[in-house]
Amino acid sequence: MEEERMEPPPPPPYIHIETNDFLHRRHKRQKEEDIAVCECQYNLLDPDSACGDRCLNVLTSTECTPGYCLCGVYCKNQRFQKSQYAATRLVKTEGRGWGLLADENIMVTEFTLILWSANVVKYIQAGQFVMEYCGEVISWKEAKRRSQAYENQGLLILSSLNVSMVLVIEACSQPNCETRKWNVLGEVRVGIFAKQDIPIGTELSYDYNFEWFGGAMVRCLCGAGSCSGFLGAKSRGFQEATYLWEDDDDRFSVENVPLYDSADDEPTSIPKDILIKDEPNTQDGNNNTIQNTGIPIIASSSEFTPMNVEPSIASSNEFTPMNVEPLNVSSNELTPMTIEPLNAIPMGVDFTQNGSIEYGAQCAEDALQNSTRGVANLQNQSAPRDNNHTELVAVKRRPTLRGGKAKRGMRKQLNVAGICDRLASEVAREEILYCEEMKNQAAAEIDSLYDEIRPAIEEHERDSQDSVATSLAEKWIEASCCKYKADFDLYASIIKNLASTPLRSKEDAAPKEQNGLMYLENGP
Ligand SMILES: C[S@@+](CC[C@H](N)C(=O)[O-])C[C@H]1O[C@@H](n2cnc3c(N)ncnc32)[C@H](O)[C@@H]1O
């Protein structure tokens, strides 16, 4: 990175700017009650006393407000306001256009913060302020519009003559600088700070955290060992465009990010009195385990075949055979079943024409629909073969689109009432309906919470600087977890009961028609 001092060729004409230009709103005025006043008092013998590293404002990345800081003109915590930049100079780089060199030794100072109350000593590194990152401040909407326009043009055009020197700093995967946000007179401002000592003559760099929206892919020439090859290569857009994606590849979907060890969870939130109704458990220890070998499972119509679902650990690409243990029970008996928590994303079970079973990771609704269909199809097969029974049909996977977004639109509405209608056991129906009620409540709660936080989100999007309050974020996370848990409980309950509860006989349950579709038919 070290380059010899030489006179650079003249750069193209530009106007050097040192303030932000707000395009979508007025500049914020700091209210008096929002002014943070530190406790520093200037001591001639200790220059660091005037808002140095121990200043409460410095420690919270807030600049002191002139007229309110007791250190007056000695206050050292007004670097953005006074444009106290490090000395730099332009340099023409090899293949990367113009860059910026340190024109003085830029230092990282280390200091100690003592948290007296907890008696904890913590070291914090404070890098020297290099310069402010300033330019046009635009709304998210405008940012999206511009990125779309750049994408359409296939290139990035900096059409403005107004240039902050920061715009010349190069991208690097092992940069010597970083960006930090500071609160300056009520506005958030972004600065470039040294991450390490930078000797004079060294080129400055920081990680752009560049979001790639499409268009040209720019090869990164930073030369760092850990370089990812292209500008924006770490961004989602770039990765989606360059990785090989397959159906059901849910790498980025939120559902698949393991957040906690579910072994610590309570098994279910369904009240015990609903789960343990005193219907007899007729499981008789039948050990006729059928391994799934692709042979269709055929049972007589009077037999009810509960499924024993073993806990399975599967990635979306792995095939996990499932043990199906047939049990002979009379249609009036209920065999409750325990489903162990799955250490995997929800499994979709597709029954195909040749009787083999396909497993695939899908979203919970998809899994449920397929399981429901699978069980219905399985039961179709249970009647004698010579009576024009509906054949098992090949289940075509719906295409999974990138990012999981489009999948949402394709989800089918779950017909809980229809499923319940087919079950002979009152307890099973009650349990499923209870779970549905819980799911609806959780959905209503998250909807009303969204309405509550919408103003904060909109404000956040407008200003792109005020964080959503932690308490709101916590509420949101809690409500989301409740919603996921309620969803899971409902699906688990349906799968369990479909697998373990006798169906109502044809006489009991006339086929239900909805929107021209027959649900959960047991055959003619
Ligand atoms: C913010 S500008 C930096 C100033 C630029 N060098 C110039 O002369 O205008 C970002 C552009 O610089 C180039 N650039 C910056 N860092 C780079 C790197 N590590 N490898 C390749 N090109 C880089 C890319 O063309 C990028 O779009």
203 close to ligand 1 (CB < 6 Angstrom): no
Residue 172 CA: nearest ligand 1 atom is 19
Strands 120-127 and 108-115: antiparallel
Helices (H) and strands (E) in the chain, counts: 9, 19
Same-domain status, 462 and 344? yes
| CATH classification at residue 34 | 2.170.270.10
Tell me, in angstroms, the distance from the centre of ligand 1 to residue 163's CA: 14
> pLDDT at position 183, please?
94
Which residue would you say has higher pLDDT here, 514 or 449? 449
Which residue would you say has higher pLDDT here, 252 or 215? 215
**What is the number of structural domains in the chain?**
2
- The answer on pLDDT for 290 being more than 90 is no
Residue range 124-134, pLDDT digits in tens: 566 889 999 88
Contact 393, 524 (CB under 8 A): no
167 close to ligand 1 (CB < 6 Angstrom): yes
Token pair recorded at residue 233:
């290569």
Give domain status of residue 220, yes or no.
Answer: no
> pLDDT at position 250, please?
58
Token pair recorded at residue 108:
């990282």
Give domain status of residue 224, yes or no.
Answer: no
Range of the domain at 130: 15-211
Give phi and psi for 403, each to the nearest 5: 75, -5
The radius of gyration computed from the CA coordinates of the chain, to the nearest angstrom, equals 32
Same-domain status, 74 and 194? yes
> CA–CA separation, 104 vs 368, rounded Å?
65
Which amino acid is residue 433, in one-letter code? Answer: L
- DSSP annotation of 49: G
Contact 161, 154 (CB under 8 A): no
Which residue would you say has higher pLDDT here, 248 or 13? 13
Residue 99 CA: nearest ligand 1 atom is 6
User: How many other C-beta atoms lie within 10 A of the C-beta of residue 258?
Assistant: 8
Reported confidence tier of residue 374, pLDDT bands at 50, 70, 90 = very low
Name residues whose C-beta falls within 8 Å of residue 414's C-beta, 6 or more positions apart in sequence. Answer: 365, 368, 369
Which amino acid is residue 260, in one-letter code? Answer: Y
- 179, 194, 211: which is the final residue of a domain? 211
Residue with the smallest CA separation from ligand 1 atom 12 is 96
- DSSP annotation of 460: H
Token pair recorded at residue 152:
């359409």
Tell me, in angstroms, the distance from the centre of ligand 1 to residue 221's CA: 9
- The answer on pLDDT for 433 being more than 60 is yes
Question: Residue 209: beta bridge partners?
Answer: none
> pLDDT at position 446, please?
86
Same-domain status, 150 and 273? no
Please state, in angstroms and as integers, the Cα–Cα distance from residue 221 to each residue in 88, 99, 205, 297, following that order.
21, 12, 12, 60
Tell me, in angstroms, the distance from the centre of ligand 1 to residue 231's CA: 9
Same-domain status, 35 and 176? yes
- The answer on pLDDT for 415 being more than 80 is yes
Give domain status of residue 98, yes or no.
Answer: yes
Residue range 188-242, pLDDT digits in tens: 999 999 998 999 999 999 988 777 766 777 888 888 888 888 888 888 778 777 7
163 close to ligand 1 (CB < 6 Angstrom): no
Among 2-16, 44-58, 218-232, 339-353, top mean pLDDT goes to: 44-58
217 close to ligand 1 (CB < 6 Angstrom): no
Q: Which of 160, 218, 221, 226 for a ligand 1 pocket mutation test, highest count of atoms within 8 Å of Cβ?
A: 218
Please state, in angstroms and as integers, the Cα–Cα distance from residue 320 to each residue in 11, 180, 309, 375, following that order.
62, 47, 12, 18
**Is ipTM over 0.90?**
yes
220 close to ligand 1 (CB < 6 Angstrom): yes
Same-domain status, 373 and 505? yes
Same-domain status, 366 and 482? yes
